[in-house]
Structure 1
Amino acid sequence: MMNPVALFRSASSRSSSSRFLVKSSTPRDEGLESSSDFFDESCMCSGSHQSTLDRLYAWEKKLYQEVRAGERIRIAYEKKCKQLRNQDVKGEDPSSVEKTRAAIRDMQTQMKVSIHSVEAVSKRIETLRDEELQPQLLELVQGLSRMWNAMAEGHQLQKRTLDEAKILLAGMPSKLSGTKKYTVMTPSLPQRLARSASNLEMELRNWRACFDSWIVSQRSYVQALTGWLLRCVRSDADKSKIPFSPRRSSGAPPIFTICIQWSRFLDTTCEAPVLEGLDFFAAGVGSLYAQQLREDSRKNLGG
């Protein structure tokens, strides 16, 4: 009987790179034929990222405990060795010396078991890092890239539509020369417009705050991942070259390249103009209909 858990893990541990290459090689029109493709791609095919991080944390905690236990055994072992040397120098009773030697042999066995446990836990962490975390990060970065490309295309289309509308509106007065249109505004309409503008301004400022928080969180996440990966690098690697060229470092894992490139991209990306533009847009929306409301109020008082 097939184990469903094993089946799920084998299916979820596949790398997303092959799936991305297959999708990127298909014509663009095919991706537009089905509106469900975008929602299907929103689920990570390389497994749950949160679950992988939770298990990595649990194994890292286990590794920390094993290292601490091994360190305590090593300290006790060194004390026993020192005690044995003192006993040999002083010529103490052979039974006491033999008892100390037996304790040393027992500690040597414990140290071997501790080293084996540390190596086993470290191997498990490396397996999770390379077989699950790496394809998940690759899929995440590729998904973010597709998202920003789609948003950029949408914004360009919106701008083109607005530019065409401006041209159309600019040509309307000449065609409608000699005609005048008057709009009768009910007393409650200015209040509704001002209230709608206020709500839109609030949503824009909330959007701005969420965008700022998202970028900051993304930078912090990449920095935390990179810092953790640095601890995974073997001690014989040249750590001075790792932050700049991970491929030249024999001890750097392949996943390090993804995090370094991701971190560099975020460092070179300046979100300040976007945030300032959102602030300016929100302030303009908030003041536009408020000014219109004041003008209408003055007209009503004057009338």
Structure 2
Amino acid sequence: MKIDYQKKVALLHKQKKRGVKLETLEKTKASVSHLHTRYIVDMQSMDSTVSEINRLRDKQLYPKLMDLVDGMGNMWSSMHRHHKSQFLIISGIRAFEVPPVPRETTDLHYKQTCELRDIVREWHMQFEKLMDHQKGYIRALNAWLKLNLIPIESNLKEKVSSPPRQVEPPIKNLLHAWHDQLERLPVELAKTAIKSFAEVISNIVVLQEEEVSLRRRCEETRRDLDRKKAQFEDWHSRYTERRASLGEETNPEAADAPSEDPVTERRIAIEEVEIRLKEEEGHHLRLARQVREKTLANLRMHLPELFRNMADFSFFCHDMYSSLRKSAVLPVPREEDQG
């Protein structure tokens, strides 16, 4: 519209210089007047739209952002209290000791450790998303505000009536400060703490897998031993009865010949399984103790560190939102939505 108007004005000037017919000149003037009127109407309509957008920005969006600042501040304040409490509680783990005969890792215990590993991994992923989405949201609002604050200029000599433009609305300082402070948060410190703890739990899972595997091997060997003993008792009973029914008849020529005692052979086979079971149980007991010692050592080192870092990070976040609230201009009272 503006370009068309400028072209028509230029054409009108040329026609005046050339001294064209009055009829042609009047047609061009009428066209210029028509475009001028349309341009004025469009500019007024645009100003009206911009004014409504600015009203929504200042009286709807800005108060809602301040509510969000308050909500985020309260959330991080609560998180700080909880993480600080967790740090104080978990610090007592330093007094724990592995008992002389440690409890073995049960299937339920192993399953719960796997669940903890998955939960911590999910925590790390969701925490990363939370921080990225916060930054992305504020960046998007700043980009929109930059476009919103671009002035609309008119080259027309006539002044188009429009409401005075607010150069720096309160939302501008809020979004700029929000963006800058988000960038200064020690996000990597918290992310690294969660990720490191997830790796610690993963290592514990590997240790428990080895222990559970050895325990199951012991159980299988124990079942094998019980089965062989039961088979031996059944066989020995039938063997004894059969020999008793046959009496002591033997071949004199074969009496001096070396012969293998089937009872002894079977007992030796059982003893071999018993020895293997004893070795496996000893290995399992030693491994169970090692797993407990390594688990406790890892938790002593990394769990307090995790909650200390998260308590510090949540304090920084709470402090950031408190600062945003204190430095922000009081929100304009909200108006009822107009139907």
The normalised TM-score by structure 1 is 0.62
- Code of the residue aligned with 2:88 in structure 1: it is R
Does the CA-based 8 Å contact 1:80-1:100 persist in structure 2?
A: yes
Residue number in structure 2 paired with 1:230: 146
1:199-278 maps to which residues of 2 (within 5 A)? 199-233=115-149, 235=151, 251-278=167-194
Residue number in structure 1 paired with 2:106: 190
Unaligned segments of structure 2, at least 5 residues = 153-165, 219-276, 282-339
- Code of the residue aligned with 2:75 in structure 1: it is M
1:223 and 1:148 map into 2 onto residues whose CA distance is: 21
Match status 1:104 vs 2:40: no
2:120 and 2:72 map into 1 onto residues whose CA distance is: 22
User: Post-superposition shift, 1:85?
Assistant: 2.1
Residue number in structure 1 paired with 2:272: none
Residue number in structure 2 paired with 1:92: 20
Judging changes above 3 Å, is the alpha-carbon distance between structure 1 residues 271 and 255 closer, same or farther for their aligned structure 2 residues?
A: same
1:26-175 maps to which residues of 2 (within 5 A)? 73-164=1-92, 166-167=94-95, 169=96
1:40-97: per-residue Cα shift (whole Å, max 9, x none)? xxxxxxxxxxxxxxxxxxxxxxxxxxxxxxxxx2111111122222222332221111
SS of equivalent to 1:195: helix
Does the CA-based 8 Å contact 1:219-1:263 persist in structure 2?
A: yes
Unaligned segments of structure 1, at least 5 residues = 1-72, 174-179, 237-249
Judging changes above 3 Å, is the alpha-carbon distance between structure 1 residues 296 and 99 closer, same or farther for their aligned structure 2 residues?
A: closer
Residue number in structure 2 paired with 1:286: 202
1:140 and 1:76 map into 2 onto residues whose CA distance is: 46
SS of equivalent to 1:266: helix
Does the CA-based 8 Å contact 2:113-2:201 persist in structure 1?
A: yes
2:92 and 2:112 map into 1 onto residues whose CA distance is: 26
2:29 and 2:52 map into 1 onto residues whose CA distance is: 35
State which structure, 1 or 2, has the greater radius of gyration over its C-alpha atoms: 2
User: Post-superposition shift, 1:232?
Assistant: 3.1
- Code of the residue aligned with 1:113 in structure 2: it is V
Percent pairwise identity: 25
2:174 and 2:195 map into 1 onto residues whose CA distance is: 33
1:212 and 1:87 map into 2 onto residues whose CA distance is: 67
Judging changes above 3 Å, is the alpha-carbon distance between structure 1 residues 234 and 75 closer, same or farther for their aligned structure 2 residues?
A: closer
Judging changes above 3 Å, is the alpha-carbon distance between structure 1 residues 205 and 165 closer, same or farther for their aligned structure 2 residues?
A: closer
Greater relative contact order structure (CA < 8 Å, 6+ sep) = 2
1:260-294: per-residue Cα shift (whole Å, max 9, x none)? 22112211102112111111111111221431331
Residue number in structure 2 paired with 1:23: none
User: Post-superposition shift, 1:231?
Assistant: 2.7
1:128 and 1:93 map into 2 onto residues whose CA distance is: 52
2:184 and 2:23 map into 1 onto residues whose CA distance is: 71
Match status 1:295 vs 2:295: no
1:110 and 1:253 map into 2 onto residues whose CA distance is: 31
Judging changes above 3 Å, is the alpha-carbon distance between structure 1 residues 223 and 278 closer, same or farther for their aligned structure 2 residues?
A: same
Does the CA-based 8 Å contact 1:190-1:292 persist in structure 2?
A: no
- In the comparison of the two structures, how many residue pairs are matched? 206
SS of equivalent to 2:106: helix
2:37 and 2:184 map into 1 onto residues whose CA distance is: 53
User: Post-superposition shift, 1:166?
Assistant: 4.1
- Code of the residue aligned with 2:13 in structure 1: it is R
Does the CA-based 8 Å contact 2:107-2:212 persist in structure 1?
A: no
